[in-house]
Structure 1
Amino acid sequence: MPLPHYHTVGGDEDHLSPRGFKRIADLIGTEVGIKLPPAKQTMVEGRLRKRVRALGLTSLDAYSDFLFEESGIAMERVHLIDAVTTNKTDFFREPDHFDLLREQLVPDLLKTRRAGNQPLLKIWSAASSTGAEAYTLAMVLADLAAQRGDFRFSILGTDISTVVLAQGERAVYSAEMIAPVPPVMQQRYLMHARRPAGRHEVRIVPELRRLVRFARLNLMDSSYPFDSDVDVILLRNVLIYFEKSDQERVIKRLINHLRPGGYLLLGHSESMIGTADTMRPVAPAVFQKV
């Protein structure tokens, strides 16, 4: 579909009409499951102005109209989702979960596996954003594997945003972002580079990058094309943006990918989600498949 020939005139003073915002909010709710109440309109407008400029459109409402003309959404879907999804992430966020993983969950999982053949533990960061959670897992598990010597691991990071997935694959982060990483792990797992203008960046070492792969996934899809024998799935601080009915469907689909005895970790603000008949709570926001 050829783009309409408009001249860009919109700026920060340009706003979506109530109808324009509602159409976009409804579309995101249907496609991604994320709620965009009216209080989010200013945030959405700020993020979409770049798309307005990129497409040469006159205004945010012209962008809204474009989305719903013929095959507009087919052309723009990925860019729209990348623009409006929130990707808050940190290394070692909610650190007690990583302590629990090291001290209890992994040892308990290994007790149920046949000894002597270094079983492969499969870990899934189901809303991986820029990869901070996936690489935090990799650091923790690499330390533990070196200490124990009796298991291997692989990590899958999935997200709906192609932008953050690309950053996860690059594995390059600002020095400020990796501040929560313990100094000994920084020395072991990070490579440092000083960019022009004094910008300090780090990159995850290749030994860890090889153990982490990233793939695009919309949690609203009816099925997920990944293994069904995953040991630990993390979906933290994402479901709070979903309607309750969508939360339940996502949790059910994820549980189907856990092996018996596997663990599902949610965000602490989501501790009451996921109390399905097939799961038992073992710690705050941590559930085990029975």
Structure 2
Amino acid sequence: MTEQRERAADTSQWASGNQIERDLTLTDADFTRIRELIYQRAGIVLAEHKREMVYSRLAKRLRHHGMTRFTDYLVRLERQPEAKEWEAFTNALTTNLTAFFREGHHFPLLAEHIKNAQEPVTIWCSAASTGEEPYSLAMTLLETLGPKASQAKVIATDIDTDALARARAGVYPQEQVRKLDDARVKRFFQKGTGQHAGFARIRPEVSALVEFLPLNLLAPQWSIKGPFDAVFCRNIMIYFDKDTQAKILKRFAPLMKPDGLLFAGHSENFSYITDAFKLRGQTIYTLAKK
């Protein structure tokens, strides 16, 4: 989750002097409650300046239900704690910016770490988004392990079920895939034709290595089990406060192999949050020795 889906206010909004007029009513109390609910549900901390983003994204849900006031939407939501709408609410307020082999220095280091593994390699991608990161991990497994990669596994989780559906489909615009070198494109993608022209699909031998699962990092229990050779938790901790970050990192530790690696995003620093991990290199951590 990052900043790609943060766009300007919904097209139904327009500027009038210094005011922004809207067809739906979002009060200060509504915005405060939305911030509280998404924090409780997903641990996401929404800053004050995210108000226009919140309006733009949730306005679609109100219109879907024929509502004009955010107050009514929130009351309905809170009266039905198990309603399917909570999933739509959470999906709307999560953000997905990702790319194949993003922060590319991590992948050669992962390859070096796993190349002599004596048992099947298992990697957890804890913020899978629309699939580019876990598929990049699967490609790295194939390039590094050769035939042994068929025994390896990437567990890819995310709270955003819409993003996971797109990830499972494994279909991406050609312009996104063209950023990769030709050898990888030919080896790991199928070029779309006819009505699928302009798109590329992940090849079955790549998708076979990845299992996509919905998972909320704030849930009291996780549906996954280690031990993992590596955990990728990149560019998601920035949405949590430090207490939440510390709790999640503490839960990562027992799921990792003794020499396992934890990969963070370029703007994330876990050194001052927990003593469970120690910095090994550029945004890469290992378990701290007890």
| Cross-structure match for 1:105 | 113
Contact 2:249 2:276 in 1 (8 A): no
| Cross-structure match for 1:210 | 208
Structure 1 gap ranges (5+) = 1-10, 114-118
Deviations 1:121-153 (A, max 9, x none): 00110000001000001111101112x858841
| Cross-structure match for 1:172 | 171
| Cross-structure match for 1:264 | 262
SS at match of 1:138: helix
- Residue from 34, 37, 41 that aligns with 1:31: 41
Q: 1:195: Cα distance to partner?
A: 5.3
Contact 1:247 1:273 in 2 (8 A): no
- Residue from 83, 86, 97 that aligns with 1:77: 86
Question: Against the structure 1 CA distance between its residues 128 and 58, is the aligned structure 2 distance closer, same or farther, given a 3 Å change threshold?
Answer: same
1:115-134 correspondence runs (5 A)? 119-134=119-134
Contact 1:130 1:165 in 2 (8 A): yes
Q: Tell me which amino acid in the other structure corresponds to 2:102.
A: R
Distance 2:159 2:204 in 1: 24
How much is the aligned-residue C-alpha RMSD, in angstroms?
Answer: 2.2
Normalising by structure 2, report the TM-score: 0.86
Distance 1:219 1:273 in 2: 20
Contact 2:154 2:211 in 1 (8 A): yes
Q: 1:223: Cα distance to partner?
A: 2.7
| Cross-structure match for 1:222 | 220
Contact 1:48 1:83 in 2 (8 A): yes
Structure 2 gap ranges (5+) = 1-11, 14-21
SS at match of 1:26: helix
1:35-74 correspondence runs (5 A)? 35-68=45-78, 70-71=79-80, 74=83
- Residue from 268, 274, 277 that aligns with 2:275: 277
Distance 2:282 2:237 in 1: 16
Distance 2:272 2:134 in 1: 21
SS at match of 1:268: coil
Percent identity between matched residues is 32
Distance 2:234 2:166 in 1: 19
Distance 2:42 2:194 in 1: 36
Question: Against the structure 1 CA distance between its residues 23 and 278, is the aligned structure 2 distance closer, same or farther, given a 3 Å change threshold?
Answer: closer
SS at match of 1:181: coil
Contact 2:77 2:85 in 1 (8 A): yes
Distance 1:137 1:274 in 2: 28
Distance 2:209 2:149 in 1: 16
Distance 2:90 2:27 in 1: 20
Distance 1:171 1:274 in 2: 37
| Cross-structure match for 1:8 | none
Q: 1:194: Cα distance to partner?
A: 3.8
- Tell me how many residue pairs correspond in the alignment: 269
Question: Against the structure 1 CA distance between its residues 193 and 151, is the aligned structure 2 distance closer, same or farther, given a 3 Å change threshold?
Answer: closer
Contact 2:101 2:107 in 1 (8 A): yes
- Residue from 231, 239, 242 that aligns with 2:240: 242
Contact 1:229 1:258 in 2 (8 A): yes
